[in-house]
Structures are given as structure tokens and as C-alpha cells.
């Protein structure tokens, strides 16, 4: 009987499966001399699945001229959510961890029946129904029992709320909500269906009924007596605020859940606040949205504070929250200066060359964003030398542990040693961050791939394989 050693089996497996990752124990026994790293990475990229794609890679020791590997590091790439590294770095450097976004509330008239209640939006992305309930309780304690006019002031135009470089197919979904000065519950809502009566349309279930009114539903889902049926399909039309659902759903079965954006955030806020006030027996006669400075802000009443910037940045990077990133970018605006101009000035102070990136949004959803791997590494390196070094590092997802990296690098060398920002669009994958080394000085790694026909799973496997290969580097005599 033929006997094959375990070592031979492993060798054959990785020859036939070049995208597979070495088990952690095998990796520890296969260190790479620093001078040989390039050959190992080149071998990974020679796989037929990756040769037609465009790769950009930079591996550098921070605060040193030591570059371990470089490929197309000065070429532009669509960075996807790696954009958030530049956004959060600039916001942190300008505003600091303790900064809060304020939403002031004013009133006119005399209590208990005031003429108007005015909420001036400033883009707080952490505003929730719970916060509105606290405001309503405060009004009740002040003795207010009726409001003639509930006013929302939002200076963001429609063109500002909807980024013109985002794809229309993204707009109906939670990751591309309108970015307004007035935000509630992240301007998102979830919907699902439930089969209740045989041969009847399935029941539509919203996470928030007030938000659900934002969408007109064309319900063509039939409830059947077959418990295996669950093939509901949702087709949204953001421009017309309609969703069509089709398919069959078994009796007492629940469909999958869809996370949708809010088409009209102003109306959602007003409807929600009016309902909250009514729960406190405060009558609202009418509502209005204004965008000019002529509104009378006679008497301040209360100020609603956002979460601290440290929490907002942590959510932005860990969870790759697009809305939070867009709000952070807008907070950079100054009089007579766009947010992008201010961002460029700030990042220049940490030695990020302004010609190495060109951004059209703060989140990375735009395919018109262009960033070089060298810009990513320079930003990460610059933050090491900033007063916010520790916080910024910890705001990034930890490989194999949390955020968007919680399911990657499991039982591999990168696990719990790689703090990095992910990025994914169709045909695009990016991963940039800090790699803690065992047998070498810590490194900054940026890997980007564009123009690929492969799916996200394959691209991530290849990217992770590159990072794990870098993690095996050691100094050899």
C-alpha cells in the first residue's frame, strides 16, 4: 500500500490550490526571508484567476525607508471603503475625539401653547427615536401642550443629499441613504414578509411603520400551503419610492429581511417626531421644512448632542458605515472651503501627498474615487505619529475578531495581529492597515485590486493570502 507523508499531502494541496491559506502551524514553520518576499507574492498573483486584474500593493516599515514590496503603488485605484481611512483620519486630526455634533432646538411664542418648535439640523448621524422621546419629555416638563408649527431646518439641497457619483442601483439600500442635515435612525428601515393566509398576499412587516410609509409597496407575493416555499424577490425603484415584491411564501413562514434607505428623510423625521409628541399629549397642528436663514430662532430651548466623535469614528471604521463617513467629511467644511479642500490641507500636515488621491465622497461608495496604495500607507503612517495613534489603530477592524474582519483570518497568522480597513465593490477589493509582526518590525500593508471579473470571495482569499505571506517575513543572515 502506497504511503504518502503529511508533508507531501500539504505540498500537493497548495500547488493545486494556490489561493488556499497555510494553516497557522504550517505558516509558523515556513518563515520567509525578507529578500524573498517579492517572489512569494509574485507567485500568488501569477495564478490565472488574478492575472487579468490590476493589483496595487505596498508593504512598508513605518518611519523608515524600508519598503519590502511594491507593485503599482503610485497608480490610481478605486479604493472602495478604504476611502474611510482618509476621511476618519482628517476628521480626527481636525476635530478631536471629544467633538460632538449639536442639534439645537428653538421655539417662538408663549408656553404652554407655543407658535413654533424649530429643530436645526447639523448632520447628527446618531439621532434616534429615543432621543426624540427625551426631547418630548423635556417639553412636557416645561408645560408645553401644543405646537402650532413643527419646523425642521435643513440646509442640505437634494443634490447634496444624493451623491451624483453613486450608482442608482445602490440608492434604495441602507448602505446608500440620503445624507441630510436631519437624520433619524440612520435614515434606514427594514422590511420583511410573513405568510399568514393561504392564497392571500403575504403580510408586509416594517421595523418602523412610520418609515414604512416612505415606500409604496406593490405586493405580488402569494401565501401557499407548502412550508418549503420561500422565494420572495424584492425590486426597488428609488426614484419613485416603490418596491415590488414577487414570489411565493409558505404559510407561517418569514421571508428574508431587506435593509432599505429612507427616500425622504425630512418627512420621516417630522412624522416620527409628531408621533412622539402626541404620545406625550402634545398637539402639533402642522409641519414644515425650511432651508433658508429667515426662520425665526427667537428662544433656545434645548440642545441635542451626538455621540462623541471617537464613537462615530469607531463605528465608521469597524462597521464600514457609509452614512457616518459622509457626515464626518461634511464636518470638515469651512467658510469658502469645500470639505475636500480642507481634507487635503489636513492630510498634507501628516505628509500625505495631495496628488496621490482624488476623492468624490467620504465613504468609498463612489467609483470615481481614486487613491494610490502609497496614499493609504502615508495616511496610516502619518496617524502613527499623531496624538491619536492608539485610538485610530483601535478604530480599525481586528482580523478574525470584530468589525468587517471578524470572519476573515480565522486561525491564520493575521488573526488578532492585523488592524485594517476593508473595501469591497464589484470587481474591487482593498485592505489596508497595521500588521504586528512576530519576527520582524511591525509593518503597514496596503493591497488593492481593480478590474477583476472574480467574485469578492476569491479576491478576499487572495488578498488575505498576501497579508499572511507578509506576516511570515523574518530577517535572515
Q: What is the pLDDT of residues 145-186, one digit of tens each?
A: 999 999 999 887 777 899 999 999 999 999 999 999 999 999
Q: Name which of 414, 403, 353 is nearest 379 in CA terms.
A: 353
Give CA–CA dist 103/272, Å, rounded. Answer: 16
What cell does 7 get? Answer: 508533508
476 DSSP assignment: -
Length of the chain: 477
User: Is there a contact between 88 and 313 (Cβ–Cβ < 8 Å)?
Assistant: yes
Q: Name which of 336, 467, 388 is nearest 88 in CA terms.
A: 388
Provide the whole-model pTM. 0.91
Output phi, psi for 423, to 5 deg.
-165, 130
Give CA–CA dist 103/120, Å, rounded. Answer: 6
Predicted local confidence at residue 29, as pLDDT: 55
Give CA–CA dist 176/453, Å, rounded. Answer: 24
For 238-378, list the strands marked E by DSSP: 242-250, 258-261, 283-290, 299-305, 357-358, 370-371
Predicted local confidence at residue 157, as pLDDT: 73
User: Is there a contact between 191 and 204 (Cβ–Cβ < 8 Å)?
Assistant: yes
> At how many degrees (to 10) do helices 37-45 and 456-470 cross?
170
Q: Which domains does the chain have, with CATH numbers?
A: 22-97+310-474 (3.40.710.10), 102-160+264-306 (3.50.80.20), 165-261 (no CATH)
Predicted local confidence at residue 10, as pLDDT: 39
Q: Where are the alpha helices (DSSP H) in 360-473?
A: 373-384, 389-395, 456-470
Q: Name which of 395, 346, 347, 336 is nearest 371 in CA terms.
A: 347
In this prediction, the residues of the chain whose per-residue pLDDT falls under 50 are 1-28
Q: Name which of 101, 143, 93, 140 is nearest 122 in CA terms.
A: 101
Decide: helix, strand or coil at residue 255: coil
In sequence order, which residues have a C-beta less than 8 Å from that of residue 264 and are 6 or more positions away? Answer: 178, 214, 241
SS3 content of the chain, % helix, strand, coil (to 5): 30, 25, 40
Amino acid at each position: 500500500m502506497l504511503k504518502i507523508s503529511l508533508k507531501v499531502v500539504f505540498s500537493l494541496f497548495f500547488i493545486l490550490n494556490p489561493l488556499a491559506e497555510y494553516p497557522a502551524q504550517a505558516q509558523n514553520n515556513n518563515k520567509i526571508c525578507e529578500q524573498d518576499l517579492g517572489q512569494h507574492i509574485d507567485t500568488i498573483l501569477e495564478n490565472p484567476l488574478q492575472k487579468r486584474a490590476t493589483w496595487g500593493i505596498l508593504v512598508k516599515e513605518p518611519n523608515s525607508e524600508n519598503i519590502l514590496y511594491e507593485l503599482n503603488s503610485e497608480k490610481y485605484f478605486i479604493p472602495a471603503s478604504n476611502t474611510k481611512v482618509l476621511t476618519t483620519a482628517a476628521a480626527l486630526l481636525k476635530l478631536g475625539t471629544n467633538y460632538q455634533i449639536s442639534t439645537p432646538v428653538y421655539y417662538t411664542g408663549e408656553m404652554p401653547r407655543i407658535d413654533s418648535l424649530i429643530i436645526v439640523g447639523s448632520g447628527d448621524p446618531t439621532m434616534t427615536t429615543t432621543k426624540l422621546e427625551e426631547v418630548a419629555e423635556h417639553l412636557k416638563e416645561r408645560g408645553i401642550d401644543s405646537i402650532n408649527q413643527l419646523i425642521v431646518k435643513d440646509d442640505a439641497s437634494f443634490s447634496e443629499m444624493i451623491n451624483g457619483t453613486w450608482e442608482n442601483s445602490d440608492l434604495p439600500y441602507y448602505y446608500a441613504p440620503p445624507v441630510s442635515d436631519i437624520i433619524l435612525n440612520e435614515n434606514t428601515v427594514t422590511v420583511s414578509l410573513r405568510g399568514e393566509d393561504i392564497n392571500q398576499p403575504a403580510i408586509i412587516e416594517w421595523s418602523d411603520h412610520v418609515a414604512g410609509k416612505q415606500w409604496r409597496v406593490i405586493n405580488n407575493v402569494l401565501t401557499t400551503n407548502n412550508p418549503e416555499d420561500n422565494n420572495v424577490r424584492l425590486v426597488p425603484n428609488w426614484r419613485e419610492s416603490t418596491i415590488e415584491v414577487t414570489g411565493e411564501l409558505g404559510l407561517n413562514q418569514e421571508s428574508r429581511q431587506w435593509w432599505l434607505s429612507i427616500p425622504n428623510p425630512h418627512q420621516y423625521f417630522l412624522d416620527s417626531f409628531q408621533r412622539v409628541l402626541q404620545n406625550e399629549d402634545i398637539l402639533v397642528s402642522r409641519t414644515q421644512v425650511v432651508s433658508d436663514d429667515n426662520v425665526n430662532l427667537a428662544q433656545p430651548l434645548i440642545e441635542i448632542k451626538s455621540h462623541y466623535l471617537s464613537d462615530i469614528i469607531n463605528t465608521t471604521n469597524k462597521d464600514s458605515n457609509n452614512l457616518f463617513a459622509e457626515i464626518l467629511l461634511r464636518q470638515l467644511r469651512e467658510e469658502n472651503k469645500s470639505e475636500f479642500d480642507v481634507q487635503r490641507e489636513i492630510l498634507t500636515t501628516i505628509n500625505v501627498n495631495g496628488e496621490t488621491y482624488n476623492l468624490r465622497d467620504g465613504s468609498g461608495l463612489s467609483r470615481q474615487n481614486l487613491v494610490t496604495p502609497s496614499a493609504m500607507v502615508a495616511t496610516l503612517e502619518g496617524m502613527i505619529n499623531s496624538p491619536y495613534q492608539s485610538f485610530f489603530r483601535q478604530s480599525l477592524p481586528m482580523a478574525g475578531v470584530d468589525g468587517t474582519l471578524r470572519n476573515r483570518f480565522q486561525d491564520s497568522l493575521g488573526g488578532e495581529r492585523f488592524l485594517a480597513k476593508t473595501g469591497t465593490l464589484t470587481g474591487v477589493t482593498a485592505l489596508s492597515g497595521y500588521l504586528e509582526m512576530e519576527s520582524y518590525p511591525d509593518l503597514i500593508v496596503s493591497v488593492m485590486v481593480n478590474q477583476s471579473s472574480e467574485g469578492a470571495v476569491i479576491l478576499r482569499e487572495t488578498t488575505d493570502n498576501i497579508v499572511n505571506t507578509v506576516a511570515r517575513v523574518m530577517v535572515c543572515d
